[in-house]
Structure 1
Amino acid sequence: MSDLRLERLVKRYGSLAAVDGISLAVDEGSFLSLVGPSGCGKTTVLRMVAGLIEPDGGRILVGGDDLTDVAVHKRNLGLVFQSYALFPHMTVAQNVAFGLQRRGVPKAEIGQLVRKALQMVRLEGLAERAPRQLSGGQQQRTALARALVVEPRLLLLDEPFSNLDALLRDEMRIEIKRLQQEVGITTLFVTHDQGEALGMADQVAVMNRGRLEQVAPPRTLYRAPTSAFVAHFIGRANLLRGRVAGRDGEDLVVALASGATVRARGAVAGEACQVVLRQESVRLAAAPDAAANSLAATVVVASFAGATAQYLLRLADGAELHAQVPGARADLAPGTAVFAEWDAADTTVVPDAA
């Protein structure tokens, strides 16, 4: 298998830079998720790697080979589209065999390779079915088998779960990650879903307005975002605007816009900042805890969802705070006065984007 390197990749549409000088490395055999809001440029990056869109600048290297100007059919990359793009007049086996036939693989070998690919995706009993006779998950696995049977240098996945229902989507995430690990193929996965990106990838690259905001392992990205955009987009964190007022041991003391002070962790000093506080780190109490950050609040909205419950809180200065607590302790009605509490270790501080 091969690694993937993007060097200062650019794509413009008129005056708009859809991709604005991106440099990115995907190690051999690893899984990288490219995530961001609609219009951020993530699908444009994938299509340039695939050869479907010509870049206006920069280079695309796979295994050290420069593929920037190589025709799409000569790149030997496996691509699974959002729509799966199966041929409706062909059987499952014929769809999987298509790429092998185009590459001139001897007919005697094709049957064996197709059977192996279908076994890999657990479709060995459905070889003679037409795509219309398959479920959404089976169609997706057929498209995946077609991509993998040619032993591509890279696997490119373009929003492959968007047409599946929630339960099947969860199952297919595990299935594709299992296959990727078994085959050991370098994979670039494009999605707008933060949960998919975090749950499947070895590394996550967050894009915004054609540029990379942060590239990091999932846990690092979630626990230590480097910008307010990443903090809010990945996990929808609470952001409390303030200014660093000093230090208390290893903690920063942050004076909030409301006048209250809280302790947080981070490296920002002497400047405007935002405290990043994850919803699940907020505890709700009837009385303040002197050992923790504690702000008076009122429950505005309570939403029970079984295992968890979501609360929208209004602080004394009118600012809002979201809290996620275990569903077994979800018994607070709107209008209840509480204290929103959290530990400094559960926060990080980023520069104020305003």
Structure 2
Amino acid sequence: MVQRILAGAFALLLSGAVLGQAPQSSPAISYTRDIQPIFTEKCVACHACNDAACQLKLESPEGAVRGASKVPVYQGERSQAVPTTRLFYDAHSESEWRKKGFYSVLDNQGSQAALMARMLELGHKTPLTPNAKVPDGIVLGLNRNNMCPLPHEFDAYAGAHPKEGMPLAVTGLTDQEYDTMRRWLAAGAPVEYQPIQPSAAEARQIAEWEELLNRPGSTEALVGRWLYEHLFLAHIYFTGGEQGHFFQWVRSRTPSGQPADIIATRRPNDPPGTDFYYRLIPVQGVIVHKTHITYPMGPQKLKRVKQLFYAGDWHASALPGYGPRHRANPFETFEAIPAVARYQFMLD
């Protein structure tokens, strides 16, 4: 009986080979199709924005590859500022982030699985009871001290916090999601980068707005600075634009038509240190509500801005600098712009 089963199985394999049909295997896992949706549903609530736990940001492949850091972004008792670590701004490659102290959560460490794989395994082996109160031993909230173990520190972490695998303090991944993550990490956690690009309609409007904010002349430069310093936090979307496409104003060393070279100052009114241009660049990664301040732009808005700031008979004889005095007192810095224009823009 056993011999007949083995012979039959061999015959099936042989017939498949004769017909040119290899035995089917699991399809390759795609970061965009398979992994990012899991991060989006189960992880980005904590691992996004500036307060991402351990600075591990999972809204995009760039964040996952960057990894984690033990340095907290917000620390009220800190007496000196630390270097900024804004994704897409302060470094642009994995090697640059490693120089800034970030460590990988995706790389296999010798004979050990990647840190993310071990965190997910811990969470999957010791799930919390569904629809029950989170155990008192698990500290949550704004005052939680994030524990950010390095790969060689994981065993000690797991021993001290056996119910604090990932995702933390929630139902966790389904068996299918966990298997997908496990296979992806075991394969070396490959990612594909698919940055958002403006559509043709968006590109035309971007060119019009960049032309307006970068016009030569002291009057035009002062208006450009005022608009930029009021809109730099906004997620811009355009009339006739693509659903889900948003853009941000930045200062760039390069003019329109060239890839943006961001001047990554801590504040929008810090000295730029060089000549610059105001540019609109796409917002990359998953959109999260806590940073999503939307602002519409289109032909009517462009016409309105021109009417408010350029229709009157006024002129800026000189441009203010970027020293402490002008950064601290915008009423003095932008005094030359008619108050009615500034006020009406804010009312609009």
TM-score range, shorter chain: under 0.3
The structure with higher relative contact order (CA 8 Å, sep 6+) is: 1
The TM-score, its normalising length taken from structure 2, stands at 0.24
The TM-score, its normalising length taken from structure 1, stands at 0.23
**Greater fraction strand:** 1
**Greater fraction helix:** 2
